[in-house]
Copies of this chain bind each other. A is one copy, B any other.
Amino acid sequence: MASMRPHDHRHRTGDALVVAAQATLVKRGEQWTAMRAAVFDALTGFDQPASAYAVTDVVSTALGRRIAANSIYRILDLFVASNVALRVESRNAYLANAHPECQHDCIFLVCDVCGRATHIDDDGVAATVRATATQAGFKALRPVIEVRGKCATCVRIV
């Protein structure tokens, strides 16, 4: 199946990722508040996409006081709009974007066994999907490409 090789930017992790996220937000004229930092920290602390309420719990614990879910939603929405976080539509869940500085139509491989999601950027596949939409007279704004199945680890185990 001919598709461009995914380009090989590094997927950032840890502090470097936080710095990148902050920079991305600031570049958009948004603030990097303690609250937002806490939400982003919470996101990076999960090993799989987290629901807004799971994030709420973690942030509440981290800050030592109860945070309302809608505050978290606001921030998650901002993050998604700013490409700092991503939303897995088929799971109603969020994760930190490992490279907020570049824009992709990303693809999620979501394991139905362990719940983990692998985020890959294959611009070739995305372009194919977009082109198909265009052929149908449709103006593609945001492709949602998620593959439900089993990850390499879980295929062996289950």
Contacts and interface: CB of A to CB of B under 8 A. Distances in A.
Nearest to A107: B132
Contacts of A137: 151-152
Given A132-B107, A132-B122, A140 B149 contact: yes
B120 A136 contact: yes
A65 to B, nearest CB: 32
State the copy count for this chain: 2
B89 A128 contact: no
Contacts of A2: 2
Contact of A148 (B1, B127, B142): B142
Scoring A122, A125, A132 by chain B CB atoms within 10 A of each residue's CB, the highest score goes to A132
A57 interface: no
Interface of A: 1-3, 89-90, 107, 109, 111-112, 118, 120, 122, 124-125, 127-133, 136-152, 155
